[in-house]
Structure formats: structure tokens, C-alpha cells
Amino acid sequence: MAALRYAGLDDTDSEDELPPGWEERTTKDGWVYYANHTEEKTQWEHPKTGKRKRVAGDLPYGWEQETDENGQVFFVDHINKRTTYLDPRLAFTVDDNPTKPTTRQRYDGSTTAMEILQGRDFTGKVVVVTGANSGIGFETAKSFALHGAHVILACRNMARASEAVSRILEEWHKAKVEAMTLDLALLRSVQHFAEAFKAKNVPLHVLVCNAATFALPWSLTKDGLETTFQVNHLGHFYLVQLLQDVLCRSAPARVIVVSSESHRFTDINDSLGKLDFSRLSPTKNDYWAMLAYNRSKLCNILFSNELHRRLSPRGVTSNAVHPGNMMYSNIHRSWWVYTLLFTLARPFTKSMEKPAAMLGGYSSIPV
């Protein structure tokens, strides 16, 4: 009690009442945090009880949540024509994790990436996410950036990548996020990206190999390889090899390879059980889009397993992750048949924040 009295925390009668100089606020996704105006700092835990909370339920009728130019969340009451920085739902908060359940109990298929990373501080960590201008990649990059990491969006289309950076900065203007050009369908572009990244002289703590293509008609890259195989697997394989020394110097570090459960429905061996290289980059006559995708995902898993075996003794771990079924993304954009199927299934699919939770979870587990 003497320590509490010295800190000024025994001045109030109620356990949940805040001490002088403290203010209760909420983040955009509903987590409650506490601002100490005297010391100019914030924290997730209540200064007296040590509990973490989040608001429960939707905003009352007529209310809308906005973000000001400084990234601070405020609330607009359209009925009474007023604005406030006080979340009207703060009277209905619930304790976060009061009984400290296990990870298996706490997270499920409805968990988002922001919930997985909630309370974690990635300040000083450098994260690279390929294909981060949309979908799972964008949600993963955003989640890391909003938790303090320096995030690099490695994308082929710089216009879309720059737009994605702006969207993240709209949520938090202090986010450290940037875009760099990476075209996995061109090995020279992979090499240029690695050289440009190394020139920054920064560490690399998390590399998320997320970019992928799906249901493409048969085509060859400028390197003479089938496009699905090169974009989904070989480009990432080459990228990791080029950045391997940086990863090892940054240990503990982690590589996350986004694969798919569809890897089960193919093989890359011939009838004698030996590796058949012609199946990896097939000719036009032997090409089937879905089979090419499945094989590339099988290569992802084999690569991730071997990478972990070789680099884990040096502090670099690798995980292959299946982001989950029944999710809607724009990966189907290359063929109208799949676009139609995905559109019909849209009402039953997950948002991108939920499969992104898997990437965020594996990326944030202590090495």
C-alpha cells in the first residue's frame, strides 16, 4: 500500500475508478487503454487493478466512430450533433482474459490478427510481407505496423502498394511502413529487392512469404519457367536464400510461408517415386491450373521444413501456414469461373482479418 500511496493510486474509492491524471480510451478495434497525462505515457493495463478490458457490443444507434488527423479515435453522435473522444460503450466493458486461459482456449477461427497481437510491442522489429497490398498480406502488414513494427510491403504493383501504405497510415499516422518493388515472376526483380533491402542496413526479424497466384492460364515467365511455380514457390525460395544472411544476423528471426491444405491433392514424384522436375514447371499440354497451384503449395511446405532444419540451429525458425478455408480474397481474379464460385460463396466466407491472425500468431510466437 505504501507503494500505491507514493504513486498516487490510493486516492480513489472505487477499484475501477482511475487515479488523477489518468484517462480511459479505446482503440479503433475496441481495446481499452489508459493514458497518463502527467507522465505522457499509455498502457493496456488498468493502473490500479492491472486488468485489461475491451468494449462490448456495437455503438449505440446514431453514433459513428471516426479518426482525427493525429490518428486518435473519436465518436460522433449524429442525433445530438456532438463529438467526443470518450467511447460511449466504456460503461459496458468486459475483462480481457480474466482467468488467463491457454492459447488453445483463447483463440479460434473467429480470431483476428489484431486480437492475436494485442498487447505485444514490436517496436524495433523489421517485418517484410510479400503481396501485402491486399488480402491476407495487407491485414498481416497492417497488424504488425499498428503494433510498432517497421513493415515493408514487398509488392509488384507499386501504385496499389502505395495506396495500402496510405490506408495503414490513416489508421495510425505514426506507423513505420513503406513499400518496395518485388516481382516474384522475375528473378532479377527478386535480386534487386534483396540488394535494396540490404542497402538499408536494417535487421530482418520476420519474413512473411505470402504472395501467390491462382488459376492462371498457362504462361512462362521471362525466366522461362511456368508462372504459378515461379511466383508461388521459386521466387520466394530465391528471396529467402538472398536474405538468409540478414535473417541469421537478426536472430531470433522467423520465416512464415503461406501454403494451403490443397497441397495434399497432388505429388511431385514420378511412378518410381523419384522427383519429377517436369511436374514443377510443366509444358502447356501437361498444364492444369489447379494442379499447378497444389504442387506449388506442396513445394512451399517441403521448403519450409528443410529451411527450419537447416537454420533453426542459427536462431531462424520457419513455419508453413494454412490460413484456413472459407475465406474471400481476390486470388481468384485470373479466371471468371473461380470468380463466380467465390462470389456465390461470399456470404459464407471469413474476412481477411481472420486468416491473417494465423500469420500474426506464428510470427509473434517466441523463437
Which residues are CB-neighbours of 364 under 8 A, at least 6 positions away? 116, 117, 120, 122
Backbone angles phi, psi at 114, to 5 degrees: -65, -35
- 253-258: strand order across its sheet: 176-181, 150-155, 126-130, 206-209, 253-258, 316-321
DSSP 8-state symbol, 302: H
Confirm if 268 and 299 have CB atoms less than 8 A apart.
Answer: yes
Neighbours of 326 (CB within 10 A): 11
Per-residue exposure over 63-93, b if at least 16 CB sit within 10 Å of its own CB, e if not: beeeeeeeeebebbeeeeeeeeeebebeeeb
Does the annotation count 293 as an active-site position? yes
Q: Which of 33, 34, 293, 362 is catalytic?
A: 293
Which residues are CB-neighbours of 223 under 8 A, at least 6 positions away? 186, 187, 230
3-state secondary structure at position 77: strand
Task: Give the separation between CA 229 and CA 212, rounded to whole angstroms.
Answer: 10
Grid coordinates of 161: 502498394
Residues that are catalytic: 293
